[in-house]
Amino acid sequence: GIQVEQSPPDLILQEGANSTLRCNFSDSVNNLQWFHQNPWGQLINLFYIPSGTKQNGRLSATTVATERYSLLYISSSQTTDSGVYFCAPGDTDKLIFGTGTRLQVFP
């Protein structure tokens, strides 16, 4: 099955800083989503991005499917960005989650 590796595992930032989260996956996929899991456990959709680049406010994501990686960019980070960020590629409807990047943003 697909193997997913996310880096870094932990990230500590001061408010206003920018960051890049990386997701490597082992096989070709036709589905990839990024999620933010807030401190209450809710998974919030950030991007559906099996290929290409998308932007939503301070967040953007790029997936290079041929090279089997995806990047999530967070600019001007805020304390509300804290939580765990998951990358979840898949070859059908079954998403395979990585172990996530835990982000802490301090004021």
Partner 1 sequence: DTGVSQDPRHKITKRGQNVTFRCDPISEHNRLYWYRQTLGQGPEFLTYFQNEAQLEKSRLLSDRFSAERPKGSFSTLEIQRTEQGDSAMYLCASSSRGGGTRAYEQYFGPGTRLTVT
Write out the residues near partner 1 by the rule CB under 8 A. Answer: 4, 30-31, 33, 35, 40-43, 45, 48, 86, 88, 90, 92-100
Measured from the CB atom, the residue of 18 and 53 that comes closer to partner 1 is 53
Measured from the CB atom, the residue of 43 and 65 that comes closer to partner 1 is 43
Measured from the CB atom, the residue of 9 and 16 that comes closer to partner 1 is 9
**Residue 93 CB, nearest distance to partner 1 (Å)?**
6
Write b or e for each residue in 81-98: b if 16 or more Cβ atoms lie within 10 A of its Cβ, otherwise e.
bbbbbbbbbbeeeebbbb
Kindly give, in sequence order, each residue whose CB lies less than 8 Å from that of residue 41, ignoring residues fewer than 6 positions away: none
**Residue 102 CB, nearest distance to partner 1 (Å)?**
9
Structure tokens at 85: 């960020």
Measured from the CB atom, the residue of 17 and 65 that comes closer to partner 1 is 65
**Residue 72 CB, nearest distance to partner 1 (Å)?**
15
Spatial contact of 70 and 49, defined as CB atoms under 8 Å apart:
yes
Mapped onto helix, strand or coil, the DSSP state of residue 66 is helix
